[in-house]
Structure 1
Amino acid sequence: MTGSDGAVDVRSTLQRMRRRGGLPVAFGGLFSGSRQFRISELTGTTTNSLRGLAVIPGNGLGGKVLTMSRPISVADYPASRAISHEYDAAVGAEGLRSMLAVPVVVRGRVRGVLYGALRQPLMLGDRALSAAVAAARELEQALAGQEEAQRLLTVARQQPPSVEETDPAVWEEVREAHVDLRALAHRVSDPQLREEILSACGRLARASSGHGRERARRRERERLSGVNLSPREVDVLACVASGATNSAAAERLGLRPETVKSYLRSSMRKLGAHTRLHAVVEARRAGLLP
């Protein structure tokens, strides 16, 4: 799912925040490359008075959250002395009174703000605040995953040298990047980015062919060309290749240990392998793993 803020779906997150927190109105957004923060998504509103509103750090409730990097709430927005009132017209046009705002923080930097509001001057309770904080954490995890995927893609796009020319330690880094990329692919919501990640995974897997052994490897790949592993079977083998136990692979991939065992048994059967290590070797010969 994608939203107006790129691969991270802010609107769906706000809708979940409303349901969980019993909030009639929720809105917010993320920084879009510039230093200026604008409200880009609205849910439960009756006007567009807040859409596109540029919030300056320090100004209003959201601006104070941008500056202080912590959740803040006010029981009656237009009458509150805890905030400045540059945005009273936009807030008043929507008829909002009680309001909370929470920051979306990734690696110590505020990336956006989420707001929840009532049309009555009431103190918002723990349920609403907890829902807003949980929604912010969801966006933080999605943004962190997206950034990590982009970082690993940058590494993957660099032409890896042949096996004969690569220091074993460097090649292990390539294999570790391959595992991380495959695990991230299932957590990225943007289909285009996910496809690019999986394409990079295939490129890393094919890079394991050394020039001096290419003919022998080609014969092995032809022998194994009929092997059709599912994406999850490849994910599990990639984790096994990095030395992960079944439990560690399950945690990394967000699966149950029993499910990991099932995928591993299935891939071993398809590859004609009798051990985990044998399965990894055969998968590499087939060009499925780096």
Structure 2
Amino acid sequence: MLSAPDGLLRPDDGDAYRQALRLLRDRSGLPVIFGGQVLDGNLTLAQFLGVRTSGLRGLRVAPGTGLGGRVLAAARPMTLNDYGTAGSITHDYDTPVLAEGIRAVTAVPVTVQGAVRGVLYAADRGPDPLGGRAQSLLADTAHRLAAELSVRDEVDRRLRLARTLPAAPADPRLTEELRALHAELRGIAQDAADPALRARLQSAARRLTTLTSPQDPPPPNPLSPRELDVLSQVALGCTNAEAADRLSLHPETVKAYLRSAMRKLDAHTRHEAVVSARRRGILP
């Protein structure tokens, strides 16, 4: 975990880049894969698989320079069949790139909300250009990584919003917003590929329940995470179909989770289950 300037504990985004590169290697079998994040306006290369030298490690690439800098500035993918002779880029970084033996290379931006947050590269030392499949897999990996970073950004935004809410909101509208925030945090958690981030989201959702129903000590929670996810959507007035759509579940699966939650809470109706959960401090 990294501590942000505002005190939020955000998982190290470098871990997400490393996971993305490992996935790409397993899917593509490409010999050289690397990438990095945009920090202070420059691209810093920090994650590598298949490299033989250390020349690229920590390399800072300015916008518009080299292949990565061109991708950063244009916010679009770019492919070179022979890096050493390419006339479409500057050659500021030839020494470390050519020392690695790289010839064919593709670079793809990791774009979140219109901003390039990083660049991923796939390269080969052989004379043949990278095929369309390799380029497609690289683009798909960048897209998946961008989605993960977007989830992390939304988590931070939601946690900042939660901090602005009063400890015991008296206004019913604030209470309803808090409940909607709780349900959305649990929904976002299901989209998080990083287990640590998912656990952090679920923990944040649990903390929100204490703002409207403080308990010391809290009673045990008999519900499974998925049962609580479903019940949090039901508490917002969602139908089974709506809850299924929000949680990417089948409607029959939602019904099964809801029946199980009702049984554990000794409730005979959906409404009773929600009331019981709020009394126990399980829901806000």
TM over 0.5: yes
Aligned to 1:59: 65
Aligned to 2:5: none
What CA deviation, in whole Å up to 9, does each residue of 1:10-38 have, x standing for no partner?
A: 12211222333342111001124x22221
What CA deviation, in whole Å up to 9, does each residue of 1:107-152 have, x standing for no partner?
A: 1100000000011232222101110110001111110000100111
Matched, 1:184 2:188: yes
**TM-score for the superposition, normalised by structure 2:** 0.88
What CA deviation, in whole Å up to 9, does each residue of 1:164-200 have, x standing for no partner?
A: x21x333221111111111223444556654443333
1:35 and 1:185 mapped to 2: Cα distance? 30
Greater shift in the superposed pair: 266-275 or 238-247: 238-247
2:263 and 2:256 mapped to 1: Cα distance? 11
Aligned to 1:15: 22
SS in 1 for 2:13: coil
Aligned to 2:206: 202
Q: Which residue identity lines up with residue 177 of structure 2 in the other structure?
A: E
How big is the shift at 1:227? 5.6
2:175 and 2:220 mapped to 1: Cα distance? 27
Higher strand share: 2
Greater shift in the superposed pair: 109-118 or 228-237: 228-237
1:142 and 1:120 mapped to 2: Cα distance? 32
What CA deviation, in whole Å up to 9, does each residue of 1:211-263 have, x standing for no partner?
A: xxx9xxx8xx99x9466112221111001112223233233334333332221
1:61 and 1:208 mapped to 2: Cα distance? 53
Aligned with 1:147 (options 149, 153, 159): 153
Q: Which residue identity lines up with residue 80 of structure 2 in the other structure?
A: V
Greater shift in the superposed pair: 185-194 or 150-159: 185-194
Pairing 1:155-170 to 2, within 5 Å after superposition: 155-160=161-166, 162=168, 165-166=170-171, 168-170=172-174
1:115 and 1:92 mapped to 2: Cα distance? 15
Q: Give RMSD over aligned pairs.
A: 2.6
Do the aligned residues in 2 keep the contact of 1:22 with 1:128 (CA within 8 Å)? no
Matched, 1:231 2:225: yes
1:180 and 1:8 mapped to 2: Cα distance? 24
Do the aligned residues in 1 keep the contact of 2:13 with 2:149 (CA within 8 Å)? no
Aligned to 1:284: 278
- Structure 2 CA distance for partners of 1:203 and 1:56, relative to 1, 3 Å: same
Do the aligned residues in 1 keep the contact of 2:219 with 2:281 (CA within 8 Å)? no
Aligned to 1:29: 36
- Structure 2 CA distance for partners of 1:21 and 1:84, relative to 1, 3 Å: same
**Identical-residue share of aligned pairs (%):** 47
2:38 and 2:148 mapped to 1: Cα distance? 14
**Which ranges in structure 2 are unaligned for 5 or more consecutive residues?**
3-10
How big is the shift at 1:282? 1.3
Do the aligned residues in 2 keep the contact of 1:185 with 1:194 (CA within 8 Å)? yes
Q: Which residue identity lines up with residue 105 of structure 2 in the other structure?
A: M
Equivalent pairs, count: 276
1:123 and 1:63 mapped to 2: Cα distance? 21
SS in 2 for 1:57: coil
**Which ranges in structure 1 are unaligned for 5 or more consecutive residues?**
none
Do the aligned residues in 1 keep the contact of 2:43 with 2:68 (CA within 8 Å)? no
Matched, 1:253 2:259: no
SS in 1 for 2:212: coil
How big is the shift at 1:5? 4.6
**TM-score for the superposition, normalised by structure 1:** 0.86
Greater shift in the superposed pair: 84-93 or 181-190: 181-190
1:142 and 1:7 mapped to 2: Cα distance? 12
